[in-house]
Amino acid sequence: MREICERLVDAYAALDPAAGARDMGVGLNTDALRDYSPDGTARLAQFMDRAREELAAAVPADAAERLGRSYVMDWAGSYAALLHRCGPAGLVSALTGPPASVRMGFDLAAPAGPDDRRALARRMSRVPRAMAEYRSSLQKGLDEGSVAPLRCAEAVADQCERWSGGGPGGWFGAYAAHHGALDGGEDMAGPAAAADAAYGQLAEWLRREYLPRASRADGVGEEVYRLWGRHCLGAQVDLDEAYRWGWEELERLEGERAAECARLGPGLSFPEARDMLEADPARRVDGVEAWRDWLQELTDRTIGELHGKAFAISEPLRTCAVSIPPEGSAAAAYYTPPSEDLSQPGRIWFPTLGAQSFPTWDAVTTVFHEAVPGHHLQVGLTRSLPLTRMHKLSFSPGHGEGWALYAERLMDELGYFERPDYRLGFLSMQLMRAARVVIDIGLHTGRTIPAGRPRAGERWDFDVAVDALEAASGLSSEYCRSEVARYMSWPSQATCYKLGERAWLAGREEARRHQGAAFDLAAWHRDALALGPLGLDLLGEELSALAREGRGDRPGP
């Protein structure tokens, strides 16, 4: 089992180097890029099928192998089902599509010397071919009727045009200028210019050939949505129950938020409270560098305060860097994990969307989500567990995003939102995640808005979703439009946060019921995270067994 999982990591990273770097911290300085042609995608699907066959024939020798086998079988099976069913339309995403993945791979690179920089120059020289392969897949989709929603394709075209620079001096050119000439007289300028041009040509082709034939539907339909849910959540979800629960959670949180607004001022509505906070210069940070420094200081301080309190945070995980990604990235903050050996730290990225002044009221909870005790603690800890290699380097969205949202809830329980403006930000982000559940399910499966809610009886579309998200979160229209475009291109991922948090809270409550006065929160965190990433169905089973039996045969940190 361990030997199989060792090989699977290297084989997967060779097939999809961007995913290997982004998701696993493997091959950060590789010179390779994925083959995005139809043949390349077919090889990736075949890899998933073979992985399942190998693992099905293996017999786990211990708890770590049992967990690893269950996780990888689940992941590979659901991924293969998506590749076989969704075709080229599944590659059109401004967040996870090839243009974004290829560019992000350079963000994650850590050139330590001339050999690494030469490898990155070779990788950059392969960007035009990768974009041509991607275009061939999209053309195949056009020929076969497998097309993405118009708004998703528009977002990718806009992204490519922005990164191309509209001519000389695009993102790759700036990257090459920053890294300078390579030893031996080579430099990246030539490959960078070709990469910028390839992105510009892709944007032009998308506008000319793809957009006129893109789907005018905003959703994928219930059949495909269930496949995405099986992959992102690792669960068979009762969509009617989840949709109903999402509305109930929205109503509960709206009541809590109204009470928090009253703490800021008698009779204040949420829009009034938000506008007051955003207009207050004492609750803003001016300048991008000052903003990054403010986020970094909060991250460092939180790590220092939580170590030894609710968690034991090992030395390599006490560093989490904050960076600002280039314009054209998605609007939401995101996390990239540390390298496999933890020598390169995990990093949180905060897009600015061109702003120069930043309100702080809703940012504190996002730092807790992305850094500690959220993604950075969870993913970094998993790297050091005695699990099989494929398992400990993986990320399951329902498990991971659910934990990060649970982490925000935990920080509220620990008293970290003592200021009403920060707690209002926490509640607004919770409301946004509850709104995601109903928007995502409704948008993709055609469910209607229930009685008693604004626009009752209507079916979801892009504009209805943007309005609902803006009302729930208080975030800007631009941000909400970017978010809804993300939901359209990544079905069910938006539900991972709240449905995953629900699974973590249920597991904790079950442990409290079984263990009574002996329940130890820090020990539960340690043992629950030691299971590694699991789909929500598997996580529920393991947390239930943990509550009844204690650690048992489960691997320790």
Residues 399 and 296 grouped into a single domain: yes
HSE (side-chain half, CA atoms, 13 Å) at 401: 20
**Within a domain: residue 520?**
no
Residue with tokens 């809610």: 453
Distance CA 524, CA 517 (A): 13
Band (pLDDT 50/70/90 cuts) for residue 187 is confident
User: Average pLDDT, stretch 31-51?
Assistant: 96
φ and ψ of 336, to 5 deg: -120, 135
Residues 273 and 170 grouped into a single domain: no
Distance CA 438, CA 316 (A): 39
Residue with tokens 């993102």: 171
Band (pLDDT 50/70/90 cuts) for residue 283 is very high
User: Average pLDDT, stretch 412-425?
Assistant: 95
Q: Please give the pLDDT value at position 181.
A: 66
Say yes or no to pLDDT of 183 above 90: no
What is the total count of domains within the chain?
Answer: 2
Residues 197 and 331 grouped into a single domain: no
Q: For 433-488, what is each residue's pLDDT tens digit?
A: 999 999 999 999 999 999 999 999 999 999 999 999 999 988 889 889 989 998 99
- Positive or negative, the Cα torsion across 25, 27, 30, 36? negative
DSSP string for 477-525: HHHHHHHHHHHHHSTTGGGHHHHHHHHHHHHHHHHHHHHGGG--HHHHH
Residues 311 and 343 grouped into a single domain: yes
Helices 496-515/536-549 angle, 10° precision: 10
User: Average pLDDT, stretch 508-520?
Assistant: 96
Residues 256 and 165 grouped into a single domain: no
> Which of 17-26, 190-199, 361-370 has the least mean pLDDT?
17-26
Domain span at 139: 2-216
pTM of the complete model: 0.93
With residue 286 as reference, give the H or E element that holds it.
strand 284-286
Q: Please give the pLDDT value at position 186.
A: 58
Q: Please give the pLDDT value at position 556.
A: 63
In whole angstroms, how large is the CA radius of gyration of the chain? 23
Residues 305 and 167 grouped into a single domain: no
Say yes or no to pLDDT of 184 above 70: no
Q: Please give the pLDDT value at position 185.
A: 46
Say yes or no to pLDDT of 48 above 80: yes
Residues 165 and 314 grouped into a single domain: no
Distance CA 367, CA 341 (A): 24
Band (pLDDT 50/70/90 cuts) for residue 551 is low
Residues recorded for the chain: 557
Residue 460 in contact with residue 443, Cβ under 8 Å?
A: yes
The residue among 216, 239, 270 that closes a domain is: 216
Q: Please give the pLDDT value at position 536.
A: 98
Average pLDDT, the chain: 93
Band (pLDDT 50/70/90 cuts) for residue 178 is confident
Residues 261 and 212 grouped into a single domain: no
The vertex-91 CA angle with 163 and 492, nearest 5°, equals 110
Q: Please give the pLDDT value at position 92.
A: 94
Say yes or no to pLDDT of 118 above 50: yes
